[in-house]
């Protein structure tokens, strides 16, 4: 693509390594989620349908519930040791958890211990994936200047979706040909190891190194009184700017959107496919594979589109259309007559997903460099943990009392909050002048 021709060799290599690494990381993360309809029966006790649904929700939420703790740990590593170190550590964590899961005994063999082990592995995978994708996005945003960074960061999300697509594809292949589910996890473990080795070639980001250089300069200035008065003055750099609460609040509200979208598109409708349309677990996985194709195509188109249109404008249009869809969703669910109708609804949810994509880089730029990793990863982790718990457990109860209209109690507040967050960052970009600048000069 022509716009990336302005990058030097080191930037292109870093972009390629991070794209490949994110693909590998999300393959490992999403493998269990898309095979959950099969694996939950192997690792968790089977009781009454309601208890089973709660156990399934627990297995799903375990991936995200400890992410805030991981955000504090990896945020500190990312902000004080380096972006590169965080990316490598999280990739190693993912590979170890995949190796454990590939060799883990089932519930029939060791009882409830299997449920605890798989839950612990899912927690480790969730924590590592959080540090990985935030680290990759920040690394690119700090290494590549605007506006080339807009599509560069957006394509990180495309790589994550591609990893999820291949994961569900492998899951469909394994289940369709009656292969051992362990085979899929051995593939995931091997992929994670390859990703960890490849990422050792990365160098630290220029902005992080400059921040550390300025911190060292200030430390020397305070301890060495012979330095000039000018050298002892705090450097007037952007990373010294104090962050604003409204920035953090809007960042958080935007990131609350994707957990809701993902759960609705991939998890919420699975019981309907099995109970109303007689789908087997294998057919549900294949159904989700085609949904993953839709998501990948949509994200690729949005990433490519932000080469010509400012990302925040794209997200604003998406947010308004998504709000309308959330209002209509219960009515659409009540008129579903075939799996095709359901697939179309799920596809619309994914195309108009409540996500920061393709404006992730814009959100990152409005966080201070010295605390960027900690703040971004913490807000990301808390938003995902909170929303996955609210969505999975909330809809399990709201559906019993209100049917499809119970969705409104969660979807409408989240969609409205998302629209507010997008509008706030649009105003920031307009105020700084970036929204009105042409993205690329005519060649």
pLDDT at 240: 42
Res 36: pLDDT:
67
Stretch among 168-177, 289-298, 317-326, 389-398 having the lowest mean pLDDT: 168-177
pLDDT of 81 over the 90 cut: no
Mean local confidence (pLDDT), 416-437: 88
pLDDT at residue 38, rounded to an integer: 67
- Tokens representing 308 are 């010509």
What value does the mean pLDDT take over residues 186-193?
Answer: 74
Higher pLDDT, 19 or 60: 19
Query: What does the pLDDT read at residue 62?
Result: 65
Report pLDDT for 242.
54
Residue with structure tokens 């292949």? 173
pLDDT at 318: 94
More confident residue, 436 or 397: 397
Could you tell me the residue ranges of all domains in the chain? 2-432
Mean per-residue pLDDT for 109-132? 77
Q: Is the pLDDT of residue 343 over 90?
A: yes
How far is residue 340's CA from residue 203's CA, in Å, rounded to a whole number? 47
pLDDT of residue 443: 39
What pLDDT is attached to residue 243? 59
* Mean pLDDT of the chain, nearest integer: 80
This prediction's pTM:
0.78
In the chain, % of residues over pLDDT 70:
79
72-77, long-range: CB < 8 A, 24+ apart:
72/374, 72/378, 73/127, 74/127, 74/130, 74/131, 74/135, 74/373, 74/377, 75/373, 75/374, 75/375, 75/376, 75/377, 75/378, 76/374, 77/131
Look-up of token digits 């490992």: 28
Let me know the angle formed at the C-alpha of 58 by 53 and 63, rounded to the nearest 5 degrees: 135
Give the pLDDT of residue 311.
92
What tens digit of pLDDT does each residue of 4-40 get?
777 777 778 778 878 877 887 777 777 777 666 667 7
pLDDT value at 226 more than 60:
no
| Mean of pLDDT values over 144-163 | 87
136, 312, 407, 418 from 325: Cα distances, Å: 31, 20, 12, 14
Across 72-81, 338-347, 372-381, the highest mean pLDDT is recorded for 338-347
Residue 413 reports pLDDT greater than 90: yes
Residue 322 pLDDT > 90: yes
Separation between Cα atoms, residue 160 and residue 104, nearest integer Å = 26
CATH class of 2-432: mainly alpha
- Name the pLDDT band for 411 (thresholds 50, 70, 90): very high
């Amino acid at each position: 693509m022509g716009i990336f021709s302005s990058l030097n060799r080191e930037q292109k290599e870093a972009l390629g390594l991070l794209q490949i690494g994110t693909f590998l990381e999300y393959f490992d993360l999403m493998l269990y989620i898309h095979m959950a309809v099969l694996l939950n029966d192997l690792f968790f006790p089977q009781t009454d349908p309601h208890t089973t649904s709660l156990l399934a929700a627990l297995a799903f939420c375990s991936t995200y519930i400890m992410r805030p703790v991981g955000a504090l740990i990896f945020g500190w590593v990312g902000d004080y040791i380096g972006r590169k170190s965080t990316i490598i550590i999280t990739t190693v964590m993912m590979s170890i958890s995949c190796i454990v899961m590939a060799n883990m005994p089932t519930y029939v063999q060791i009882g409830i211990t299997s449920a605890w082990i798989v839950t612990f592995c899912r927690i480790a995978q969730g924590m590592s994936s959080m540090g990985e994708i935030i680290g990759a996005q920040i690394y690119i945003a700090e290494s590549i200047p605007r506006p080339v960074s807009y599509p560069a960061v957006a394509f990180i999300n495309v790589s994550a979706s591609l990893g999820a697509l291949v994961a569900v594809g492998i899951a469909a292949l394994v289940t369709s040909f009656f292969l051992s589910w362990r085979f899929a996890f051995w593939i995931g473990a091997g992929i994670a190891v390859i990703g960890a080795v490849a990422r050792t070639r990365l160098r630290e980001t220029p902005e992080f190194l400059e921040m550390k250089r300025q911190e060292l300069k200030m430390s020397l200035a305070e301890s060495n009184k012979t330095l000039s008065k000018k050298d002892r003055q705090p450097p007037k750099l952007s990373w010294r700017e104090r962050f604003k609460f409204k920035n953090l609040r809007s960042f958080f509200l935007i990131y609350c959107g994707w957990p809701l979208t993902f759960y609705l598109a991939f998890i919420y409708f699975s019981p309907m496919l099995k109970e109303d349309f007689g789908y087997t677990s294998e057919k549900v996985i294949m159904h989700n594979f085609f949904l993953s194709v839709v998501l990948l195509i949509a994200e690729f188109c949005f990433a490519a589109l932000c080469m010509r249109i400012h990302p925040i404008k794209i997200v604003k249009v998406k947010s308004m259309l998504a709000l309308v869809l959330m209002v209509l969703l219960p009515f659409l669910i009540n008129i579903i007559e075939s799996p095709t109708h359901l697939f179309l609804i799920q596809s619309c949810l994914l195309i108009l997903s409540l996500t920061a994509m393709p404006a992730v880089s814009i959100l990152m730029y409005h966080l201070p460099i010295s605390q960027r990793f900690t703040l971004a990863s913490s807000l990301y982790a808390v938003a995902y943990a909170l929303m996955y718990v609210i969505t999975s457990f909330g809809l399990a109860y709201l559906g019993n009392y209100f049917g499809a209209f119970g969705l409104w109690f969660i979807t409408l507040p989240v969609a409205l909050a998302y629209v507010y967050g997008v509008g706030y960052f649009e105003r920031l970009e307009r105020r700084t002048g970036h929204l009105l600048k042409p993205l690329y000069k005519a060649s």
